[in-house]
Amino acid sequence: MKRLTAISVLLFALLSAQDMIVRVYTPSWEGLRRIDEKPLDIAAGRYGEWYDLVVDPEIFDKVVASGLPYEVTVHSLEHEKEQVRGTYLSYTQINDSLRAFASTHPLVCSFDSLPFPTYEGRWIYGVKISDFPQLDEDEPGFMLDGCHHSREWATPQAVLFFADSMIRSYGVVPEITEIINETQIYCFPLVNVDGYVYDYPAGLSWRKNREPFGGAIGTDANRNYGGGCNGDIDGYWGAVDEGQASHNPSSATFCGAFAHSGDEIQGYAQYIQDKKITTGFSLHSYGEQVMYPWGYTGQGTPHAALYDAKGAHMASMMQRLYGGTYTPGQSYYNPYATSGGTTDWVYGYNHYVAGLSSLFYGAELGTAFYQNQSQLDFISRQVFKAAEYLAGFADSLILLTEGVVPAPAIYPVGTATADFGIAWHARNAEQNNPLYWELLELSDPSVIEDDLESGTGHWILQGFTLSTSQAHSGTHSFFSGNVNNMNHAVQTAHPYLVSPDDSVTFWCSYNLETNYDVAVIEVSENTKEWFNLDTTRFNGNSGGWSRKAYSLGDWLDRSVYIRFRAMTDGNTLNGGFYVDDIYPVCLFSDIDTVASAIADTVYEFTGHPAGEYYYMVRGYNTAWGWGDFSCLERAEVGVGVVQHDLPAPANTQVSMDLAPNPFAGRLNINYVLDNGAENARLRVYDAAGRAVADLSGRLSANGQPASVTWLGRDEMNRSVPSGVYFVRLDCGSRVIINKAILQK
């Protein structure tokens, strides 16, 4: 191999003070710890052979001192970029290309954007390709995205090439016409637009977004997702135990202040969820590889065999620039371990949380960040072949994969007589095929501030321990541990139903390596998808015990689990994280299984004893067994309560109908209420059972026909996406639920 002497290269680097790319020969990422214990900026890698590092003069010194074999492959990234910059499209030119696709082919293409702008106020634009591009059809969604990392310039060009080729082939190439007729295709060339706009003209090569935090600029967009959503704490956002990411804001792989903290990632994730995008290809550069989950562990996903087979086929279709084909493999090895990545989150969210059939791949394109323009057409054609194959496979994916039965949504009960029903809504049942349901009844809840003096019965420990080393009150507290490469957690055993003005309060004491070891507090409705409470991370030295309080207002009327989680990297260790006197901690004295083989999505009680009860439901399918429980739904059961509380109606006819249905922007809800039924409620729920709008204040209870108009907006006056909604009218003991379909 060609090498420069260490002295000559070092002299060049010191004189130029610019970033280089150095290829270091070591069989695994562990070998790179001879250079630095902290995560390095890895540009590319081939497991078992080498890793390309982006280095400044300081890191280059460490490469030389490590004794590892190396060679300099790019002496100045900035010079490499300047050689090709004029041949690449700017942010404005890319957007103009997308608009041109939509304006010249309106019957098959529409212009779109993610739901909100970035930190610097730019919109992230893309196109939808479909036989009915203005409608959200009940078809699988396929995504091709580019430029999570702003210096990976070949990726937007490949996305534009794919979109243009698909659009032009519609009605001409039968197989592509069929794909577009059966699949909703989304193409977003620039996910990290702020970073791209900064990197495009700037002298320094840039990887992250441009949002400041902790005295530095930027989050690595492909380390900022929530994780695999599979319950394995090693796979969630912020895991840094194998160099997958960093909590140092100055690091190239900084994972962000919290999961989905980047505006572009929050918007992209919401778009994936809203459009039910389950299949896709996320493009990076460079390395000439096809990758798939998991990225955080060497263990395969539940669909590992299918991932292997399809990934190998896609890789075999993609020719390398200098001979051979792309290398397929699980991204943990191919090329290195990551946490908070796109493919892990999209697959994990769809499979475990939404119950959808899913396969999501990534690729490392070409041989350079700033690929020579003459090679882009060849690279883009290789992407097109694999992406077309994957998009064509999306329609049959449901036949080969099946999601876990997701947590259903229970319809509100409130006050009930001794004879009442519990009803719930199955989510995406056509893709997870629930066979039957289990209904639990919980009662006699005890909500306490837990001083941990009575043991761990209220908690599930995942690495945390009950400690007597220090405590805020009494003699006990929870301790995270303080070992290297740690992912430890402790979560509440039972869910807590959030009431108005509720907050989580606790006392904590910590000494964590500044900007490298971090603890967080999180909440979840289903124990799979976790959200940082507030935007807090615990880092550094607290200087003793301090009280914390965080609002639960975003989870009002929903039940949540509470979790403390601590993460460490290698090398330096400090004292760890302690927590004590935690509120609210809920434990139900009685938990009864009402039934475990309910075929319908409703269960009727007859002669139920009076009292306060809570209900939760989960579903079962053949492929994965039991799914996650729903949120709690509270019922106040009292014999004759409803009849005595409501005045005798003059008109006992209660009715509701919807028109037009489907509707585009205005839904007329026509109804008749009992005369004097002031307690009637009219609410709109989405397909997941979440309350969208409360129209109760506009009801007229005079026994005469009346109408309320819903404009397809939520309580914040935001336009809701196309899809299925449920309009529920409650009037005394009468409940009417009608389905409405919004088609924009």
- Asked, as a colleague might, if the bond just before 584 is cis with ω within 30 of 0, I would say yes
Are both 505 and 516 inside the same structural domain? Answer: yes
Which residues span the domain enclosing 392? 85-205+231-242+273-400
| φ, ψ dihedrals at 316, nearest 5° | -70, -20
- Per-residue pLDDT, 675: 66
The answer on 663 and 588 residing in a single domain is no
Do residue 89 and residue 53 come from a single domain? no
pLDDT computed for residue 676 by the predictor: 61
pLDDT at 398: 80
- Region of 229 on the Ramachandran plot (φ > 0 left; ψ -120 to 50 alpha; else beta): left
Q: Which of 478, 567, 480, 479 is closest to 517 using CA atoms?
A: 567
Q: Residue 677 sits in a domain of what CATH number?
A: 2.60.40.4070
Q: Is the same domain home to 326 and 454?
A: no
Q: Are strands 277-284 and 141-145 parallel, antiparallel or unpaired?
A: parallel
Q: What is the mean pLDDT of each run of 10 residues along the chain (744 residues)?
A: 45 59 92 89 92 94 94 92 89 98 97 96 98 91 98 97 98 96 97 97 90 96 97 97 95 96 97 96 97 97 96 98 97 95 98 96 97 95 98 87 94 90 93 96 96 96 97 98 96 96 97 96 96 90 96 94 96 94 96 95 94 97 96 84 34 76 88 74 78 85 83 84 84 78 82
Radius of gyration of the chain (CA): 28
CB 671 within 8 A of CB 713: no
What backbone phi and psi angles, to 5 degrees, belong to 569? -100, -160
pLDDT, position 204: 83
Residue 625 DSSP SS3: strand
Q: Within a domain: residue 494?
A: yes
Determine, yes or no, domain membership for 198: yes
Question: DSSP for 301-336?
Answer: PTTHHHHHHHHHHHHHHSB-TTSSBPEEEETTTTT-
Encoded tokens for 694 = 């409360």
pLDDT at site 500: 92
Q: Are residues 286 and 139 in the same domain?
A: yes
Domain total in the chain: 4
317, 280: one domain: yes
Q: Of 268, 272, 239, 267, which is closest to residue 253 (Cα–Cα)?
A: 239
Q: List strands edge to edge, sheet with 420-425.
A: 409-410, 420-425, 602-605
B/e letters for 158-176, b = 16+ CB within 10 Å, e = fewer, are bbbbbbbbbbebbeeeeeb
Contact (CB, 8 A) for 475 and 540 = no
Q: Which of 394, 357, 371, 396 is nearest to 624 (CA)?
A: 357
Say whether 693 sits in a helix, a strand or coil.
strand
Both 523 and 431 in a single domain?
yes
- Is residue 452 located within the same domain as residue 571? yes
**Could you tell me if residue 34 is inside a domain?**
yes
225 found inside a domain: no
pLDDT of residue 28: 86
CA distance 256 to 241: 16
Q: Cβ(596)–Cβ(440) under 8 Å?
A: no
- Is the pTM above the cut of 0.95? no
For 305, other C-beta atoms within 10 Å of its C-beta total 10
| Domain match, 470 and 480 both | yes
Which among 19, 47, 75 is the end of a domain? 75
Which pairing describes strands 576-598 and 602-605: parallel, antiparallel, or unpaired? Answer: unpaired
Torsion of CA 159, 165, 171, 175, to 10 degrees: -80
CA angle in degrees (0–180, nearest 5) for 737-740-744: 160
Angle at 33 between CA 30 and CA 36, to 5 degrees: 155
Exposure b/e, 549-566, CB count within 10 A at least 16 = b: ebebeebeebbbbbbbbb
Q: Are 428 and 573 in contact (CB under 8 A)?
A: no
The Cα-based distances of 319 to 276, 359, 386 in angstroms read: 31, 22, 11
In a domain, 260, yes or no: no
**CA–CA separation, 85 vs 431, rounded Å?**
45
| Collapsed DSSP state (helix, strand, coil) of residue 14 | helix
What letter does residue 246 receive in the DSSP assignment? B
- CATH code for the domain of 15: 3.30.70.340
β strands within 178-299, DSSP E = 184-188, 212-213, 216-217, 277-284, 289-292
Q: Specify whether the CB–CB gap between 699 and 682 falls below 8 A.
A: yes
Q: Is residue 423 part of a domain?
A: yes
Residue at 649 is within a domain: no
Task: Let me know if residue 251 belongs to a domain.
Answer: no
Do residues 55 and 86 make contact, with C-beta atoms less than 8 angstroms apart?
no
Instruction: Judge if 434 and 486 occupy the same domain.
Output: yes
* pLDDT for the residue 648: 35
Cα 480 from Cα 462, distance rounded (Å): 9
For the domain that residue 483 is a member of, what is the CATH number? Answer: 2.60.120.200
**Residue 684 and residue 723 share a domain:** yes
Last residue of a domain, one of 643, 666, 698: 643
Q: Is 57 helix (H, G, I), strand (E, B) or coil?
A: helix
Residue pair 464/490 in contact (Cβ under 8 Å)? The answer is yes
Tokens of residue 208, six digits:
């992250």
Q: Do 639 and 674 sit in the same domain of this protein?
A: no
Pick the last residue of a domain from 643, 677, 696: 643
